[in-house]
Amino acid sequence: MSVEPATAAPGTAPGTEPRLRAVLAAACCALVAVPFLAVDFAPLTDLGQHSAQIRLFADALGDPGGPYRIQWLTPYGLGYLPVAVGWLLGGPLAAGRLGAMLIAAAWVAALHLLAAGRQRPAAAAALAGVLVFNHTLYWGFVSFLAGWPLFVLWWLWVTRPPAPGRPGREAAVTLALALPLYLAHALWFAVGLACLAVVTLLRRHHWRAGLPRLAAVVPVAALAAAWFRGVSGTGFSTPPLWAKPAAVRLSPDSLVDAALGGLSGSTEPLIFALLLAWLGLAAWRNRGELAARSDLALAALGAAFVVAALVLPDKYTNTIEFNDRWMPAGLACLLLAAPPLRLPRRWLRGVAVAVLAAWCLWTTHVWRQVERVELAGLRPALEALPPEPRLLGLDFVRRSRWLEGQPFFQMYAYGQALRGGTLNFSFAEFPPSPVVLRDDPASPWAGGLEWFPQNVRRQDLAHFSHLLVLAPPPVHAQLAADPALDAVTPEAPWRLYTVQPERLNPPAGATPRPRSGSPPPPTTPTPPSAR
């Protein structure tokens, strides 16, 4: 199997004009940015915590001996650069949304770069752009998402034949690509090393030319090994967990959720069916020369990602969605690898862009509905917070009418991003985060309240100055009737309360919250953690 770019037959080369490719890529990036620009809060679970990390980073820089310290070489830090740019452009409440927008645009731009580098159809890259709105985006896994564009650069480099007689340049470029890939996300770096090893083996007759590249990754691999040893004793490394059996993973619903998995309803199955139809039609129309007109190396990469999504554990090393997160990239690679459809290229580009535009507009409509109904009251509640609050966030709703998963339970972290202070749970408690607590003492309130708000106890309230609560009206009525709580903002799904500790009964017998990474009490389910 050749790892060099596939070359189409004369007269059928798919969209090789650089200027046209650049215009199409820019248009696709602009389309995926529309939903982010149409709302105040993108409904992506972890964005509030990521925004808070930017504030904690500034606090740690300003007070090197304070409660937080910076981990400069963590393999999850590079994805925070776009969030920091978003902070500079729009402030703390817009930082996560604008940062995620930049990452989504880079994700789509990487598809077009990959298509150009491998001489694949530009229409396929435009169509594959719908996959950026997948479950990893909706979870807010910014570091993992940011790793994809860097992996594309890496893969284009390692599949390019080494230049003979230029070992220094080979090593320098390899190192310059390997280090940011590691700093973006450890999983992408691991996949990048595997790709380099496979390509080197496939070039076994020219293996000496690949030695500079192999040597260049050694120091970065050593850095990764040292980092992993450092966090292995913190509880970050956990046994693999297969939550879904094979029959469930192969079901249509699970496949759709693995490829997309962000919106409820019938729209995602329709998009998934359209992508499969595109692949099927491409194979059928080129059935006589399928191998010759496909990019076999890219197809092998896509197939490996799809297989990983089907066989890897659901959770490993405290990393949730460990398997499904590979499906969007795998399906995108398969779309690019497929032979070009035997139809006019201008017509194909128009159809692909129209599908992407329709999907972005539908996503925009859903996000605006979510903001209007399910995020009502959030901004006033956040803006009513005083400086440096001790904030407890509780999500009693848990689900969304329009979105999959649990999209709101980390939203309260925007309070720390906006006003500083402390939270009942912060990403600073995750060992891999860019900014972590210098000391992580046991907290005297019930653990896992961000996941299990029903476990909150009355004595827990004494440790906080404010409650930011997402709840239905009956729950808000109970809270408003509590003499120890004063409602600050009008009743809405989101409402802010102040705690009056003098009206609380004296706390007694509070069970300390376990340290980050240690097992929770037997009565508390284990929450997933690492992103």
Tens-digit pLDDT profile for residues 318-353: 788 999 999 999 999 999 999 999 889 899 999 999
Least-confidence region, from 48-57, 120-129, 500-509: 500-509
Q: Which two tokens stand for residue 231?
A: 């966090």
Contact 225, 507 (CB under 8 A): no
Judge whether 494 lies within some domain: yes
- Which amino acid would we find at residue 292? A
Judge whether 404 lies within some domain: yes
Judge whether 15 lies within some domain: no
Judge whether 182 lies within some domain: no
Judge whether 393 lies within some domain: yes
Mean pLDDT of 180-196: 97
Q: Residue 316: enclosing H or E segment and its boundaries? A: strand 315-316
Checking if the pLDDT of 395 tops 80, the result is yes
Q: Which residues contact 17 (CB under 8 A, 6 or more apart)?
A: none
Nearest residue to 96 via CA among 109, 82, 110? 82
**What's the pTM value of the predicted model, to 2 decimals?**
0.92
Query: Other C-beta atoms within 10 Å of 460: how many?
Result: 21
Mean pLDDT of 6-32: 75
d(CA 299, CA 43) in angstroms, rounded, equals: 33
Task: Express each pLDDT in 64-83 by its tens digit.
Answer: 999 999 999 999 999 999 99
Judge whether 403 lies within some domain: yes
Task: Express each pLDDT in 280-327 by its tens digit.
Answer: 999 999 999 999 999 999 999 999 999 999 999 998 877 889 999 999
Judge whether 210 lies within some domain: no
Eight-state DSSP code of residue 72: T
Which residues on adjacent β-strands are paired with residue 33?
A: none
d(CA 530, CA 323) in angstroms, rounded, equals: 14
Task: Express each pLDDT in 32-54 by its tens digit.
Answer: 999 999 999 999 999 999 999 99
Provide the mean pLDDT of the chain. 91
Query: What is the domain range of residue 431?
Result: 378-503
d(CA 499, CA 465) in angstroms, rounded, equals: 5
Predicted local distance difference test score (pLDDT) of residue 506? 52
Judge whether 385 lies within some domain: yes
Q: Which residues contact 449 (CB under 8 A, 6 or more apart)?
A: 392, 393, 394, 424, 425, 455, 456, 460
List C-alpha distances in Å: 500 to 178, 348, 395: 53, 63, 21
d(CA 69, CA 444) in angstroms, rounded, equals: 23
The H-assigned helical ranges of 233-344 are 246-249, 252-259, 267-285, 290-293, 296-311, 327-337
Number of domains in the chain: 1
Nearest residue to 315 via CA among 238, 241, 249? 241
